[in-house]
Structure 1
C-alpha cells in the first residue's frame, strides 16, 4: 500500500476541484481525503496501489473543466494505513 500526498496549485478553488477529486478517487477505489488550504491551493492525501495512485496523480494535473492547474507538489510514502473511503475535509 502506498500513500500520495499532493498540493495542487493554480486556479483550483471555487471550481469544484475537491468534489471532482473525491469522485475520481472513489471511482479508482482509493481512500483518503482532499481539502482547500488558506493559500488558495488544494491538498490531498490518497492511499492505494502505487500504479493506481500514479494514474490519479496524472489526472490531478487536469482537474475539472474550470480548473487551471499550474503545479502539483508530491510526496510518496509506503503506508500500512488504510483509511476507509475518500472524503472532503473542511
Structure 2
C-alpha cells in the first residue's frame, strides 16, 4: 500500500466550531499523521500522511455533511511523503 501526503484547504464556516479537533480525531482513527491549522483567510489547512486509502477516506469525510460548521468546498493536492510528522496535531 502506497503512502502519500494529502494537503487540503477547507473553506466555509470552519473556524471556531471544533473543525480542527474533529479533523484530528478522524485522522487518528485512520492512522494518519499531520496537522490541521487555521489560516488567516478563514480556511483550515489539513496536511495528512499515510496510506493512500486512509487519506482518500479523510478527504471524503472533510467533504461530507457530518463536519462541524459548514464546508463550502475543499481543494486538495497530492504529493509524496516528506518524512515523519509525529502524530496528528491541531496548530
Would the alpha carbon gap of residues 22 and 77 (structure 1) be closer, same or farther in structure 2, given more than 3 Å must change?
same
Q: Does 1:57 align with 2:55?
A: no
Corresponding residue to 2:71 among 58, 69, 72 = 69
Aligned position for 2:41: 39
Count of residue pairs the alignment pairs up: 89
The SS at the match of 1:14 is coil
Contact 2:19 2:67 (8 Å CA) reproduced: no
Alignment gaps of 5+ in structure 1? none
Contact 2:22 2:67 (8 Å CA) reproduced: no
Alignment gaps of 5+ in structure 2? none
The alignment's TM-score, normalised by the length of structure 2, stands at 0.90
Contact 2:10 2:45 (8 Å CA) reproduced: yes
The alignment's TM-score, normalised by the length of structure 1, stands at 0.91
